[in-house]
Structure formats: C-alpha cells, structure tokens
C-alpha cells in the first residue's frame, strides 16, 4: 500500500516555548487517521507543516510521493482542507464560494457542491456572517469535498455540529474512503467519533508522537485495571503505564489486557476509550 503522506525528521520550534518533533510518520492511502492530543500538543502545527502553511526548521514531507515544498500547487489541487478557524470572508455567500472555487480548482464540481449544500440545508444566497458556527463548518466541509480531492486534512471538522449532523458528516467521510486511493487525516477532540470511523490513531503529546497504532489494537489491547488503595503495591511496576489515584481506589493504564487478566485474576479490568487512554497518558502519574 502506498503512503499518502510521509514525514521524516520534522522539527518546528517556536523559540523556547514549544517544539514539534522530531516527527517520523507514514500515513497510508485508503484509510482514516485520527490525530489526538490536548490543546497545545502540536496537532495544528503538524497539520500546517504538512500543508506548507508554516515552514519547518528541519525534515521533509512528501504527499503522494512528492515533496510538498517543491510541488505545492500540484499537490494542493488534490487536497481538501478544513481548518479549525473559518477562512472565508463573512460577507461572502455560498454562491460566491462556488464562483471563486471554479477559478481555483481544475476539478471543481459545481453540481456536487450544490448537492452538499442541499444535504446540509445551506442556502446559496445566505451570507456567512449570518450563519451559525455549525452552518459555517458544514460549508467548509462541502467546499473541501467538491473538487474531488484524494486527501482530506481536517482540523476539528465536526465541532459545533449537533449529533445528528455529525453522524451524517462521518458517513460522508466513510463514503469518501471507499476508494482505496482516498485518505483522511482527522484531528479532533471528539474522540468518540474516531472510535467509530478511524483505522489508525496518532497521539501527540508535548510535540512528540507517543502512540501510532491501529484503532483496533489500541482499544483491544489497552485497559484500565482498578484496585483498592491497599492493593496497589501488589501490582508490578513493569505492568503500569500510568496511574491515577482516586479517593478509594487506583485506575491503572495497562497494555496486553489478556496477559494482565491472567496475571491479576482478582482485579477488575475494564476496556478503555480513546478519551480515557489520552487522559491517563497525559495526566496520570508514571
């Protein structure tokens, strides 16, 4: 399987405040990759580096096996983007967006754009200024999809959407990757969305990649072992990834859940969510 994105030795520093990297990632074609991490972890810096919006201090990025810095215009023709902050001027209307995009993208599909407007219940002549946050987000998604990109790069694409519309959008994303040449890199704080649609999870913390695994491996192999305070010392430190002390018990992040169940038969071991995994790895004691 070819890679949609290859990142090698990427570093981006902002004086002494924050450094992203070194980042090395292979993002295969034909799947949905979930990018998770707390605010300030480096997700947006990584996305903007991939898009060549910000210049990295070191390393290189290839998209569709071509260097983004040398082939930016050609590559961006095949990328659909939704960033966290709205990038359309508020005085514009969807019909204006259509006119502008026709001149930017060779493959702009006017019919498809209006199809999405209809599905999302967006009016062609309504100003962006008068739209709710959710409506603006739907307009961004419609625009990103309407020039037939091979790669979608999405930063919080479902924020501000109600659960019903969010599910509709996730279904559109799933349809998009049915062709094995289509890929989605999706950064979101709504980790439950990723549990439904992501094939792979990349977890960034303090500018570093701390996990890069398939969703199924993470959810099947990691777990939370719960024990009373007086039993904590009976758990081998080698089996503890991180832990949180509550008033009456401990929650311990473990890996290889089947092995741990056999080793600690008298303890409760629960399946884990991506949110619980992220919180324990970031906030838990080591």
CATH assignment of the domain containing 146: 3.40.50.300
Token pair of 186, please? 């999706």
Strand order across the 249-254 sheet = 242-245, 249-254, 223-228, 268-271
Is the bond leading into 22 cis (omega within 30 degrees of zero)?
A: yes
Same domain for 202 and 248? no
**Domain-terminating residue out of 168, 197, 215:** 215
Q: Which domain holds residue 8?
A: 3-215
Residuewise pLDDT in 10s, the chain (286 residues): 689 999 999 999 987 788 998 999 999 999 999 999 998 899 999 999 999 999 899 999 999 999 998 998 899 999 999 987 767 888 999 999 999 999 999 999 999 999 999 999 999 999 999 998 888 889 999 999 999 999 999 998 888 788 888 888 899 999 999 887 899 999 999 999 999 999 999 999 999 999 999 999 999 999 999 988 888 989 999 999 999 998 888 999 999 999 999 998 888 899 999 999 999 999 989 8
Same domain for 80 and 168? yes
**Domain-terminating residue out of 178, 198, 215:** 215
Please provide the DSSP assignment of 37-98 as one string: --TTSSHHHHHHHHTTSS--SEEEEEETTEETTTSHHHHHTTEEEE-SS--S-TT--HHHHH
Per-residue CA distances from 52 to 37, 47, 67, 82, 173 (Å): 21, 9, 10, 15, 24
Same domain for 235 and 132? no
Query: How many other CB atoms are found less than 10 A from the CB of residue 42?
Result: 23
Determine the 3-state secondary structure of 212 from DSSP: strand
For the purposes of burial, counting CB atoms within 10 Å of the CB of 139, is it exposed (0-12), middle (13-18) or buried (19 or more)? buried
Same domain for 229 and 211? no
Same domain for 169 and 211? yes
The answer for residues whose C-beta is within 8 angstroms of residue 48's C-beta and 6 or more apart is: 54
Number of domains in the chain: 2
pLDDT in tens, 61-107: 999 999 998 998 899 999 999 987 767 888 999 999 999 999 999 99
Token pair of 112, please? 């498809």
Same domain for 23 and 119? yes
Same domain for 273 and 199? no
Same domain for 152 and 52? yes
pLDDT of residue 5: 96
**Domain-terminating residue out of 215, 237, 263:** 215
Token pair of 65, please? 């096996």
The predicted model scores a pTM of 0.91
Find out whether 116 and 146 touch, Cβ atoms under 8 Å: yes
Same domain for 198 and 251? no
Longest Cα–Cα distance of the chain, Å, equals 68
pLDDT in tens, 56-71: 999 999 999 999 989 9
Find out whether 196 and 170 touch, Cβ atoms under 8 Å: yes
pLDDT of residue 72: 87
Same domain for 203 and 229? no
Distance of CA 114 to the CA centre of its chain: 27
d(CA 170, CA 168): 5
Q: Which residues pair with 212 in a beta bridge?
A: 202
Same domain for 48 and 188? yes
Residue of 119, 69, 128, 62 lying closest to 93 (CA atoms): 128
Residue of 86, 32, 70 lying closest to 196 (CA atoms): 32
Same domain for 246 and 208? no
pLDDT of residue 248: 86
């Amino acid at each position: 399987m070819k890679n949609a994105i290859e990142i090698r030795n990427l570093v981006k520093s902002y004086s002494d405040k924050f450094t992203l990297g070194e980042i090395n990632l292979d993002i295969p074609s034909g799947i949905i990759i979930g990018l998770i991490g707390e605010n300030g972890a480096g997700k947006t810096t990584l996305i903007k580096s991939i898009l060549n919006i910000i210049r990295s201090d070191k390393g290189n990025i290839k998209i569709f096996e071509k260097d983004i810095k040398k082939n930016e215009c050609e590559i961006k023709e095949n990328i659909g983007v939704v960033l966290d902050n709205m990038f359309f001027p508020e005085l514009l209307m969807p019909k204006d967006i259509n006119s502008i995009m026709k001149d930017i993208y060779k493959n702009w599909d006017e019919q498809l754009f209006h199809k999405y407007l209809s599905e999302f219940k967006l009016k062609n002549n309504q100003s962006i200024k008068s739209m709710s946050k959710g409506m603006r987000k739907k307009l961004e998604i419609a625009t990103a999809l309407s020039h037939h990109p091979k790669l979608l790069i999405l930063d919080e694409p479902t924020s501000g959407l109600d659960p019903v519309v969010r599910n509709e959008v996730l279904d559109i994303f799933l349809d998009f990757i049915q062709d094995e040449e289509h890929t989605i890199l999706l950064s979101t704080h709504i980790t439950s969305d990723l549990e439904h649609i992501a094939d792979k999870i990349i977890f960034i913390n303090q500018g570093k990649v701390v996990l890069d695994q398939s969703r199924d491996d993470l959810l099947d192999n990691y777990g939370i072992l719960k024990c009373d305070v007086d039993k904590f010392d009976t758990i081998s430190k080698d089996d503890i990834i991180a832990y949180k002390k509550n008033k009456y018990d401990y929650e311990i992040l473990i890996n290889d859940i089947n092995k741990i169940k056999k080793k600690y038969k008298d303890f409760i071991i629960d399946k884990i969510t991506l949110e619980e995994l992220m919180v324990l790895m970031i906030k838990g004691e080591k």
